[in-house]
Chains A and B, each alone.
Chain A
Amino acid sequence: MYDAAPFAAAAPRRLTVGVADGTGTGGWDWRASVAARVGTVAGAWEGTGVRARVAAPRRTPGRPRIRALRRGLVPLALVVLAVALLGCDAPMSTSEIEGSWNKEVWKPYWVIIWLAGIVFVAIMAATIVLSLMYRERPGREARQIHGNTKFEVVWTIIPVVIVLVMMVPTLDSLFKLDEEPPADALKVEVIGHQWWFEFRYPELDIVTANELHIPEGRVVDYALRSVDVIHSFWVPQLAGKVDMVPGRDNRMAFSALNARPEPYLGQCVEFCGTSHANMRFRVFVHTAEDFERWAREQAAPRVSSVSRTAEEAFLAAPCLGCHTVRGTNAAGIAGPNLTHVGSRTTIGSGMLENTPAELRRWIANSSAVKPGSKMPPMAQSAGGTLTDEQIDVIIGYLQSLK
């Protein structure tokens, strides 16, 4: 029914996104994954002593109340499991606090998780205990109770109190997150395109794509906009998301807490069409000095050391219709700015590593790598106009644009 063949044939070797500990190393080994996970869970169980408590009542079987309690521990175990997993360091985990926004989020979040956990355990336990205790048994009649006003009042007040307790930190964080950024905040415009991110630094005269560089500890004031459909800007470890809505000027401000060599991973989270799943980006957090250096390099026009003939070949190709290379007459705006494309680690909005081989695949026929890509195929073999030799020259040129 579904013709998956064309896609399967072209299935790209995707970029693995391993972070510091070098996890993502190619093919997915589910056995190893299971083993690791079981280890984590078991560790969590040992750590909380749940297992011991689970085992204990087994020696005194019989009375339904005890058995019920024992079963009541299952939901408790689930909560422990959930908490154990919150700590897991998935590269896009929302529970890793690396940004000021996320730090603020977790203030109400912890309160709410605890309340939710307590309510969850209480209701699961009550359901199981009541179900077991009041099973039909010979000689026992159901008690014909219609209701009890006192109980109703009590369990109206309980959720009211819970909700009130949730509201206080929620509103506190909500208004804190919406505070005006300080005047010296770094201004960054984030512009959503189908399906890539454009980053502009109006004060620094930098335009780049798919790789955001920010200094550690300094508040960044983001203006979030879209030129086509609704996208959403999200780096889970740093901050929650804010949508990029055409027609609106959305703002968010936060700082990254720690500089580190590995990028933070971000992704569009509002469904935006064919390659929504492939609309990814990276955030590099530098120390103040490193950021200064990066900004200086990026603000410069294209590096002059590139070979004249390669540049001419590039400018003769259809590329300049959509791409800009500052210092040349390539000034298209439909696609990412390529002035310093050689300095980026990835291409295709975070899909491929920035290597000559991957660039070749991308330029030859980008939509074979990224479904729906707006960049038409360039290679003659895919219906474009460029020969393999021409593409080679262009790749060399692009790689040199550091």
Chain B
Amino acid sequence: MATVAGTLAQPTHTGVWSWITTVDHKRIGVLYGVSGFSFFLWGGLLALLMRTQLAVPNGTVIESDRFSQLFTMHALTMIFLAIMPMGAGFFNYMIPLMIGARDVAFPRLNALSYWTFLGGASILSLSFFFEAPGGGWFNYAPLSERPYSDGSGIDFYVVGLLTLGLSSLMAALNFAVTIINLRAPGMTMMRMPVFVWMTFVISVLLILALPPLTVGLIQLLFDRQFGTHFFIATEGGDPLLWQHIFWVFGHPEVYILILPAMGIVSEVLPTFSRKPLFGYPAVVFSGIAIAVLSWVVWSHHMFTTGMGSVPRAVFAVNTMIIGVPTGIKVFNWLATLYGGSIRFTTAMYFAVAFIATFTIGGISGVMHASPPVDSQHQDTYFVVAHLHYVLFGGAIMGIFAGIYYWFPKMTGRFLSEALGRWHFWLLFIGMNMTFFPMHFLGIAGMPRRIYTYDDGLDWGFWNMFATIGSYVIAVSLLIFLVNFFRSVRQEPTAEANPWNAPTLEWGTSSPPPEHDFDAIYTVRARDPLWYDRDHGIAPPEVTGEHIHMPPPSYYPILIAIGITLLGVGALSHLAVSALGGVIAYYGVWGWALEPTD
């Protein structure tokens, strides 16, 4: 394929300016991925510091307030700056390719999402130079209110999350429209790859879940800056309202983090088992069911706040029901292995390990769906273990599967399989060493978010064990970095479809040309490339007609700078906000009048 690249090739842009002004979904995907991975390493470093402090009882490495900032920023970094953008990196790069399109529906909006993300991420991360937020990632009121958190940390939290929320909203709108409207001829909804489906579900979740968070953040901002009392009980407000609003967002958010990994695994397992995904409709509909149910379970994060028996019973039942579609997914993945001819590449190792580790997280999740049990689990290390099995054992494992799987497509080069094995096994062992003992610690009564603990509580051994595990994870990530940098320096050797995969992204050259496809595919089945291969259908003919691609634009980054300044102004001086508003408005004006054809 791409044999006639010479006639079709657009002038290739290079240099920093070309990256700043790019509206190419593949480049934006790379920007998202690289930023997300950098933040992943940064968040991991914060975790290592915490594990070092907790290795022995009465540790003296980090003092109390700094420790609070570490666990808050670790969570915020991992959730909003690492897992979500790494997911977004895959959406950006892969979705147009997988649905056989030439770009997303709104290329400039896509660039704007990225630059706004970077602005929000900078606000959040640079808080370390002033005062980082230290109220935990769900930042419960009234601890987050002025009387108890007087510094600027919580303001960084509010403004950072508002900016990041805006970025996510724009990206989600873009992908929802792209998936609904830009599918290749013949690609009905029920022929879309599962990864595309999951992206669609996530986009919908984001679009609907971010507004409640925005409202909560605005109310907190008003409380802190303008003296309202939304969450201050002594003045008539209610701290639990924050929890309700936050978890109305927060629970769908959890699925926003895990569903991309489920999508990736649903691509990797069939490719390397060399057979179609087992029960495609069941996998898709259980994904949708999980998304729908995620709206009626939020109060299970609040079982211990003194809600009445009936509400707790209702939310407990709803929560347990989520176990059903999740179980269906796991069984279908396992059935995909059955009867296959499995090729164990590194990507496949990660995908299979995902099934195992995610299942552990799923099981412990169903365990504390029971309010009496949760009264013992809540806010202990058992919950820490659970959420890390879901987010590390689930999301991160899935993302690594995706990296190894799509690396040849994105770069034209292969990651070393030998180093990949080392990376996988060390990560897998380190991950289980770190997080499995946390179940024991939770049952032994260790609360989360404590910077120190007494000797004699029997928590020392497993804490040391977990700390060693966290260093094993760190070593495995170093191996991955070596692997990555070695590979990108090699000559490109990957052909269009090195894994013999069934989906459309493998139907163009590796890496794809700027216009993605020389000719648009017509989709005839759920696994189009396999169908075409088995029925002797040749790739679509290249007609040589001119393919129009949107020109680069600097307005997205300009508007993003304006939006970021708006936020910075809220933290410093309103004049900065005003300047930001003017810049953003000027950017929108220029954007609207900029010719796109």
Q: Which residues of A are interface residues toward B (Cβ below 8 A)?
A: 2-4, 6-8, 11, 14-18, 23-28, 30, 33-34, 37, 78, 82, 85-86, 88-95, 101-102, 104-105, 107-109, 112-113, 116, 119-120, 123-124, 126-127, 130-131, 134-137, 140-148, 151-152, 155-156, 158-160, 162-163, 166-167, 170-171, 173-175, 177-178, 194, 224, 228-230, 232, 234, 236, 239-243, 245-248, 250-251, 265, 267-278, 371-372
Q: Would you call B68 and A159 a contact (CB within 8 A)?
A: no
Q: Would you call A156 and B455 a contact (CB within 8 A)?
A: no
Cα–Cα distance between A223 and B374 once the two chains are bound (Å) = 20
Q: Would you call B356 and A127 a contact (CB within 8 A)?
A: yes
Min distance, Cβ B503 to any Cβ of chain A, angstroms: 16
Nearest CB to that of A228 among chain B residues? B148
Q: Would you call B233 and A23 a contact (CB within 8 A)?
A: no
Contacts of B330 in A (CB 8 A): 123
Contact of A250 among B306, B352, B372 (CB under 8 A): B306
Nearest CB to that of B312 among chain A residues? A174
Contact of A245 among B234, B240, B338, B369 (CB under 8 A): B240
Contacts of B450 in A (CB 8 A): 276-277
Contact of A159 among B316, B323, B371 (CB under 8 A): B323
Asked if B458 is at the interface of the complex by the 8 Å CB criterion, the answer is yes
Q: Assuming the A-B contacts A16-B454, A130-B338, A242-B375, are A247 and B239 also in contact, with contact meaning beta carbons closer than 8 angstroms in the complex?
A: yes
Cα–Cα distance between A108 and B278 once the two chains are bound (Å) = 34
Nearest CB to that of A109 among chain B residues? B373
Min distance, Cβ A279 to any Cβ of chain B, angstroms: 9
Q: Would you call A228 and B60 a contact (CB within 8 A)?
A: no
Asked if B532 is at the interface of the complex by the 8 Å CB criterion, the answer is no
Asked if B421 is at the interface of the complex by the 8 Å CB criterion, the answer is no
Q: Would you call A247 and B455 a contact (CB within 8 A)?
A: no
Cα–Cα distance between A228 and B142 once the two chains are bound (Å) = 8
Contact with A along B431-447 (1 / 0, CB 8 A): 00000100110111111
Q: Would you call A91 and B458 a contact (CB within 8 A)?
A: yes
> 30 A-B contacts, Cβ less than 8 Å apart?
A7-B64, A23-B456, A90-B445, A94-B380, A94-B445, A108-B370, A135-B342, A136-B274, A136-B342, A143-B339, A146-B278, A146-B279, A158-B327, A159-B324, A159-B328, A166-B370, A170-B373, A171-B317, A174-B313, A224-B306, A229-B142, A241-B304, A242-B375, A246-B234, A247-B240, A269-B378, A269-B380, A274-B64, A274-B65, A277-B451
Min distance, Cβ A41 to any Cβ of chain B, angstroms: 11
Interface centre among A23, A232, A241, A271 (most CB of B within 10 A): A271
Contacts of B332 in A (CB 8 A): 147, 152
* Extra inter-chain contacts (15) besides given A131-B342, A174-B312, CB under 8 Å: A85-B440, A93-B458, A135-B341, A147-B279, A147-B281, A159-B323, A160-B324, A171-B316, A224-B306, A230-B143, A242-B304, A272-B143, A276-B449, A276-B450, A277-B450
Identify the stretch in B292-300, B459-467, B473-481, B577-585 within 8 Å (CB) of chain A at 4 or more residues. Answer: B459-467
Contacts of B452 in A (CB 8 A): 277-278
Contacts of B440 in A (CB 8 A): 82, 85
Cα–Cα distance between A239 and B373 once the two chains are bound (Å) = 10
Interface centre among B316, B363, B366, B445 (most CB of A within 10 A): B445
Contacts of A124 in B (CB 8 A): 356, 359
Contacts of A33 in B (CB 8 A): 460-461
Q: Would you call A245 and B239 a contact (CB within 8 A)?
A: yes
Tell me which residues from 301 to 345 in chain B have a Cβ below 8 Å from any Cβ of chain A: 304-306, 308-309, 312-313, 316-317, 320-321, 323-324, 326-328, 330-332, 334-335, 337-344
Q: Would you call B278 and A88 a contact (CB within 8 A)?
A: no
Asked if B282 is at the interface of the complex by the 8 Å CB criterion, the answer is yes
Asked if B275 is at the interface of the complex by the 8 Å CB criterion, the answer is yes
Q: Which residues of B are interface residues toward A (Cβ below 8 A)?
A: 49, 56-58, 60-66, 68, 135-136, 140, 142-143, 147-149, 233-234, 237-240, 273-276, 278-282, 304-306, 308-309, 312-313, 316-317, 320-321, 323-324, 326-328, 330-332, 334-335, 337-344, 352, 355-356, 359-360, 363-364, 366-367, 369-376, 378-380, 436, 439-440, 442-461, 464
Contacts of A7 in B (CB 8 A): 60, 63-64
Q: Assuming the A-B contacts A4-B61, A24-B454, A134-B339, are A240 and B376 also in contact, with contact meaning beta carbons closer than 8 angstroms in the complex?
A: yes
Q: Would you call A148 and B376 a contact (CB within 8 A)?
A: no
Q: Assuming the A-B contacts A119-B363, A277-B452, A277-B453, are A243 and B461 also in contact, with contact meaning beta carbons closer than 8 angstroms in the complex?
A: no
Q: Assuming the A-B contacts A28-B57, A163-B324, are A371 and B63 also in contact, with contact meaning beta carbons closer than 8 angstroms in the complex?
A: yes
Contact of B376 among A134, A236, A278 (CB under 8 A): A236
Contacts of A148 in B (CB 8 A): 278-279, 335
Q: Would you call B443 and A243 a contact (CB within 8 A)?
A: no
Contacts of A145 in B (CB 8 A): 275-276, 278, 335, 338-339
Cα–Cα distance between A275 and B134 once the two chains are bound (Å) = 12
Contacts of A4 in B (CB 8 A): 60-63
Cα–Cα distance between A171 and B319 once the two chains are bound (Å) = 13
Q: Would you call B334 and A120 a contact (CB within 8 A)?
A: no
Q: Would you call B143 and A229 a contact (CB within 8 A)?
A: yes
Cα–Cα distance between A4 and B339 once the two chains are bound (Å) = 58
Cα–Cα distance between A8 and B273 once the two chains are bound (Å) = 55
Q: Would you call B376 and A102 a contact (CB within 8 A)?
A: yes
Min distance, Cβ A275 to any Cβ of chain B, angstroms: 6
Q: Would you call B456 and A17 a contact (CB within 8 A)?
A: yes
Contacts of A8 in B (CB 8 A): 60
Cα–Cα distance between A134 and B321 once the two chains are bound (Å) = 32
Cα–Cα distance between A135 and B304 once the two chains are bound (Å) = 47
Nearest CB to that of B458 among chain A residues? A90
Q: Assuming the A-B contacts A126-B334, A247-B233, A273-B148, are A151 and B279 also in contact, with contact meaning beta carbons closer than 8 angstroms in the complex?
A: yes
Min distance, Cβ A352 to any Cβ of chain B, angstroms: 11
Interface centre among B56, B313, B444, B451 (most CB of A within 10 A): B444
Interface centre among B306, B367, B372, B454 (most CB of A within 10 A): B372
Min distance, Cβ B495 to any Cβ of chain A, angstroms: 20
Nearest CB to that of A231 among chain B residues? B143
Q: Would you call B339 and A142 a contact (CB within 8 A)?
A: yes
